[in-house]
Structure 1
């Protein structure tokens, strides 16, 4: 660096993982000047400690001459952790959700690399006693196998015959394009030595790569043969591939070198994305695979988001069968080391396909050209704590910024997405029929006000459902019974004082879990022995109210003995429980599967011909403007599990209100009828007709929560945008669940037809929150999903 440059040092604006909506400015040491790039992870002093942060931008303008600036202490990695595309996206996303950018970047980043920390201590950037907050990771390696281009196929190796083991491995590698030693070991014994022989013959190349021991890769998957698309699939595939052809370069990103002021929803930006609306079983996955495959063939990257990766092992298998093990599966079960390995494989372009749940939207896929959100309607795409982003909306933003083709897929699209398609902001592609010759299942509505207990005597096993289960089992088929309440009894009442037993820390009833012998809160996980007396009067006897999946499982096992009955809910799905249960169902080792909404996900089980919904009204009673939409989606999705094989499907929906328009639309398989009615009901002032921001306050004392919420509401009402009701301020009012984990909760809603005035009012509230709210906590939730 020249003397002139040394006299005028440059500065780095760094995002730190602290709850402040600002960047921190540090001087750049001359020795690190060339290495400190935007996206780099660095160590900087903050107060008396050192913390890790990310450089968002470099500047030569000193922000304030009166402030003594401190210097960047060290560089954590030699290459920027975030690419320019990913950093721009994250900075813009943080601004959209009024989230401190440092916390947004922390949510996206992998754990701290242990090797980098050792290096910083060695060069003195980090003292021996100093520690950085955060997780640390190491690494593990394996062999990656690739075919050598231009050599003969398996049937004509250039220097003689192939042995059977060599032929097996080459066939697998040819089918997948590339593979790992871990994925090939199960195919032949002594795979490592066979591979070395093939490499010596010039047929393959071997190199070392980092790997993770992900359970999704524990079992080898044979290559698949793509199915011939039907006419509707052909149209959808053709349109998507044409869009991929057109997207040859990224859209102009919002540079992290300049401040952001997003004035619109992420779905406002070109290029126009797609909504793939296909009935259950219509072959949406095959459309996704064709698009991903074409992007991969061109050397581009692809990202596939799913609601819960643990619930979709079949989808992971289909990706592995089509593309081999050169994919990254991102999920909450990964260790820090495994997550770090997957991150770096993507960042370095060694792996170009990623699949995962909502946080996979931050995956550093290189040359990203395809972004797909499967089951885009699912509420689990919204993060409800910390960085409260919606992965579906962020997929639209990231695809626009990366110049990627974006596809939102669902059999039951969210009202927001279908509304955007109506307005021409999404291009609608439809798959109106199942991909096979099968038709959609017939649906019978059973009125619980008129139908009483069947032969079993159990209230929710009516005669029509009892008879249908019997017929299904007699034919050698399988059935799924859907009840969206886990546990044995959803609530308990004292037989002595008639008190409903509630969690001591939450305003919710305790649920009996008989197998565990406890009564438990499903929000804070408080539990007490079931035999414990009533905390109010000490009476020992408790009355059980309602029916949960555990009790239903027991009843079915008694009534339909010797049928094999299993249960799929949060209590049975720990570890690899989901995959094990679904494998048993697929292998016809289960006759009746009882479950919560976990059974509604995209499981494809050919032997299931009957679906029974025991109480369709449960979700209709929620204090949420989306209650009817969620009911329609849940029931439609679970109904779609029936009749996917050779035999036709049947669905029995039991309801106390079978005339409700959402339930009637499910019976008719009529999404558009539901959409029209629900959109008309939302016209009074709810999304997608209006935009919404929730401000949530909680505190250990009710008075403090009320005080802070009142101050925030007063701040909102003092803004000029609230005059003439351009922005409505609703509340503050107690949240539907008033007390959670020992803290009292109060909610404030802001509602407007236009986003700009709504964001102005929200910014004023954010400023007041940043000034401090004492012992209370206040959070801004843009486009809220959970209303409890």
Structure 2
């Protein structure tokens, strides 16, 4: 976890003009650093400008980087330097963003160019948008006396001096044809002109009438507004029970950023969450914000990137990659559901967007707000130590009460043989549906069944590329690996023993729960909410609307249903397998399970009708279940801290993982062994491994893992750099560095 404090460097974006005849250009490639290029005569180049250069006879776009403070190598002679070809007509990359890129690269031990690539989200946006032609009044100066017809008079009556009009709307407004406009141009009454560039995004109105905040909400909003108005860096942890109005509170802070003329960034962990969130935003500000995520079209990506860089997109809501957008004056960064592991990028540059958001805010001199009903132990520890300020909303908005949470002991009241819903849960769903209310069945497992095996020989259907079982998706008639995407049709006979019709599904997924629900409640209108069935924000928005309009009686979902949704008629949540996340050796298994189940429980009883939550469990005495029943998550997190503190486990110590992988298992073993032999030591430093990763085979690559563990005050990056520099790594082997890992697969 990152520190939330530190001295702010000068953020004035006044980059120097290079007086020497060379500049450093950082390219969006996984290279060690920037390259020197020659400045052609008469070309003044400033830091942050986007330029075109050549690399190995290939045209490239790069960014002029700041001069190195201490060059590590003898500079290339001037006569051997290649020239900068051109400066692109795009806003310069700001000082704060360049420093952020350098910071992320240094912290994650990634090549700076690989981080730069994430900040160049659309190379098409580096060219100015094309302008369309229109018409404007010709003005005085012509001695010609053109014939005036009623049609021409109507056109002149519509037009104002100095304004440019698009042809079709102008002709429609005047009730004439486009030919009349061309005739007027031939006669000197009007002339062609370029239409001004129209902003793609309407400016949100900070004073647009919004919901009235009362009590703790109003007090928290006032404090956040003051922090934004102060125009300086600080981190606030905003907590509160589910349904307490945290979103409405931090939207008041967004309004203040708009009043200050600064930009705001809101990060959401799941794109599907944006549907209802956008409705709330529009109700508060009258317009929609800019969206940034992997599913936006290339044209939207180009327009959004350019609008952000030019300050024409005042508010952006997006996934973790939105952190690297070119905000010229970022005043507020909000991380909603800050505890979510979806903020961790596991491929390429490995980083946690929650932690990097704090850094981005610090370098921009912006306020940062981390929001969660179930905050991470890292953020709670930072709040307790004074690094972060803390605000809490202890009650639900509008007088709604928290749901009652109970466990169903599956040892005493198990489901019928071959079924997965217990009698108490079935009775509760029956009662809920009879009252005309909505119920939800939650199981964090996609597909029909997580395992298919042969009942004759015991053979298990395994992915050929990963250490994972193939998940049956019966609706698609497929067996699928959820790690690499491999699919195959279910075989008619066992691949091992050849016995026909011997393969059986083991365990439930949401499709199997749906099948059972259809048999129990055939008249109920059912909806499955999972990433398989809701591929994007539009589909999620349609599903949410169906639920709100009471077109659905029974919701069956995975973790996608646990976050941020407001379904006022949902009063019962049944968790099919509450023990699911507790297995394995994950350091944060208990913390993540209590967070997920508390979030999904929070979907119940958010309006007038009281809510009820039933947790099916084989271990109702487990501390996680007891914390959910009592509602005392603070005590649970205090106990988690007490368990981790003596062993210096995060957040009371630091971790960094080295994942060694290769298509050749012997090469992976050899490199992992060499790294183990060269492992660092000393007071407060420990290396665990090498050992096979839990997913020892992933996407066809054999994986071995070493874990560096240090005390809190020890920086791991210098240790890692020295360690990696001492071990030669073959080209066939990849060593991925994961600082502050959240996954141990």
* Bin for the TM-score computed over the shorter chain: 0.7 to 0.9
In structure 2, the residue matched to 1:240 is 224
3-state SS in 2 of match to 1:552? helix
- Whether the 8 Å CA contact 2:229–2:260 is kept in 1: the answer is no
Task: Supply the distance in 2 between the matched residues of 1:347 and 1:752 (Cα, whole angstroms).
Answer: 40
In structure 1, the residue matched to 2:268 is 306
- 2:744 matches 1:787: yes
**Unmatched 5+ residue regions in structure 2?**
1-16, 135-168, 176-194
Give RMSD over aligned pairs. Answer: 2.9
Deviations 1:192-235 (A, max 9, x none): 97899xxxxxxxxx9642649xxxx9xx99x9842221211122
Evaluate the alpha carbon distance shift between residue 141 and residue 378 of structure 1 in structure 2; reply closer, same or farther with a 3 A threshold.
farther
Query: Which of 701, 706, 710 does residue 664 from structure 2 map onto?
Result: 701
Q: Which structure has more RCO (C-alpha within 8 Å, separation ≥ 6)?
A: 2
In structure 2, the residue matched to 1:674 is 636
Moved more, 590-599 or 659-668: 659-668
Aligned-residue offset at 1:538: 2.8
Task: Supply the distance in 2 between the matched residues of 1:59 and 1:505 (Cα, whole angstroms).
Answer: 44
In structure 1, the residue matched to 2:82 is 71
- Whether the 8 Å CA contact 1:141–1:209 is kept in 2: the answer is no
In structure 1, the residue matched to 2:441 is 481
1:21-420 to structure 2, matched below 5 A, reads 21-32=32-43, 34=44, 36-58=45-67, 64-65=74-75, 69-75=80-86, 77-113=88-124, 116=127, 208-209=197-198, 211=200, 225-247=209-231, 271-325=233-287, 327-420=289-382
Aligned-residue offset at 1:74: 2.4
TM-score, L = length of structure 1 = 0.80
In structure 2, the residue matched to 1:471 is 431
Task: Supply the distance in 2 between the matched residues of 1:192 and 1:603 (Cα, whole angstroms).
Answer: 47
Evaluate the alpha carbon distance shift between residue 52 and residue 403 of structure 1 in structure 2; reply closer, same or farther with a 3 A threshold.
same
Task: Supply the distance in 1 between the matched residues of 2:172 and 2:307 (Cα, whole angstroms).
Answer: 25
Task: Supply the distance in 2 between the matched residues of 1:192 and 1:687 (Cα, whole angstroms).
Answer: 67
Task: Supply the distance in 2 between the matched residues of 1:648 and 1:437 (Cα, whole angstroms).
Answer: 11
In structure 2, the residue matched to 1:712 is 675
In structure 2, the residue matched to 1:723 is 682
Aligned-residue offset at 1:350: 1.2
Aligned-residue offset at 1:37: 2.3
Evaluate the alpha carbon distance shift between residue 273 and residue 474 of structure 1 in structure 2; reply closer, same or farther with a 3 A threshold.
same
- Whether the 8 Å CA contact 2:234–2:366 is kept in 1: the answer is no
- Whether the 8 Å CA contact 2:655–2:710 is kept in 1: the answer is yes
Aligned-residue offset at 1:775: 0.2
In structure 2, the residue matched to 1:511 is 471
Task: Supply the distance in 2 between the matched residues of 1:70 and 1:577 (Cα, whole angstroms).
Answer: 53
Deviations 1:733-774 (A, max 9, x none): 1101110111100111111113544222111134357x6432
Aligned-residue offset at 1:381: 0.5
In structure 2, the residue matched to 1:259 is none
Task: Supply the distance in 1 between the matched residues of 2:518 and 2:61 (Cα, whole angstroms).
Answer: 55
Larger Rg: 2
In structure 2, the residue matched to 1:593 is 555
In structure 2, the residue matched to 1:621 is 583
- Whether the 8 Å CA contact 1:312–1:603 is kept in 2: the answer is no
3-state SS in 1 of match to 2:88? coil
Evaluate the alpha carbon distance shift between residue 435 and residue 763 of structure 1 in structure 2; reply closer, same or farther with a 3 A threshold.
same
- Whether the 8 Å CA contact 1:9–1:60 is kept in 2: the answer is no
- Whether the 8 Å CA contact 1:609–1:643 is kept in 2: the answer is yes
- Whether the 8 Å CA contact 2:278–2:288 is kept in 1: the answer is no
3-state SS in 2 of match to 1:673? helix
In structure 1, the residue matched to 2:648 is 685
- Whether the 8 Å CA contact 2:238–2:370 is kept in 1: the answer is yes
3-state SS in 2 of match to 1:723? coil
Evaluate the alpha carbon distance shift between residue 51 and residue 499 of structure 1 in structure 2; reply closer, same or farther with a 3 A threshold.
same
In structure 1, the residue matched to 2:451 is 491
Evaluate the alpha carbon distance shift between residue 480 and residue 142 of structure 1 in structure 2; reply closer, same or farther with a 3 A threshold.
farther
In structure 1, the residue matched to 2:394 is 432
In structure 2, the residue matched to 1:549 is 510
Task: Supply the distance in 2 between the matched residues of 1:195 and 1:506 (Cα, whole angstroms).
Answer: 67
Moved more, 558-567 or 235-244: 235-244
Deviations 1:292-322 (A, max 9, x none): 0121122111111110122331111211222
In structure 1, the residue matched to 2:422 is 462
Deviations 1:578-623 (A, max 9, x none): 2221111111111111011011010001010001101111100033
Task: Supply the distance in 2 between the matched residues of 1:233 and 1:550 (Cα, whole angstroms).
Answer: 40
- Whether the 8 Å CA contact 1:140–1:210 is kept in 2: the answer is no
Evaluate the alpha carbon distance shift between residue 60 and residue 568 of structure 1 in structure 2; reply closer, same or farther with a 3 A threshold.
closer
Aligned-residue offset at 1:246: 2.1
Deviations 1:455-514 (A, max 9, x none): xx6532111100110011001010111101111111011233211110011110001111
Task: Supply the distance in 1 between the matched residues of 2:318 and 2:115 (Cα, whole angstroms).
Answer: 18
Task: Supply the distance in 2 between the matched residues of 1:293 and 1:114 (Cα, whole angstroms).
Answer: 28
Task: Supply the distance in 2 between the matched residues of 1:331 and 1:498 (Cα, whole angstroms).
Answer: 44
Aligned-residue offset at 1:48: 3.8
In structure 2, the residue matched to 1:524 is 484
- 2:523 matches 1:562: yes
3-state SS in 2 of match to 1:636? helix
Task: Supply the distance in 1 between the matched residues of 2:174 and 2:721 (Cα, whole angstroms).
Answer: 60
Evaluate the alpha carbon distance shift between residue 656 and residue 72 of structure 1 in structure 2; reply closer, same or farther with a 3 A threshold.
farther
3-state SS in 2 of match to 1:436? helix
- Whether the 8 Å CA contact 2:89–2:126 is kept in 1: the answer is no
3-state SS in 2 of match to 1:553? helix
Evaluate the alpha carbon distance shift between residue 685 and residue 195 of structure 1 in structure 2; reply closer, same or farther with a 3 A threshold.
farther
Aligned-residue offset at 1:241: 1.8
Task: Supply the distance in 1 between the matched residues of 2:121 and 2:42 (Cα, whole angstroms).
Answer: 26
- Whether the 8 Å CA contact 2:228–2:366 is kept in 1: the answer is yes
In structure 1, the residue matched to 2:178 is none
- Whether the 8 Å CA contact 1:139–1:210 is kept in 2: the answer is no
Task: Supply the distance in 1 between the matched residues of 2:32 and 2:447 (Cα, whole angstroms).
Answer: 42
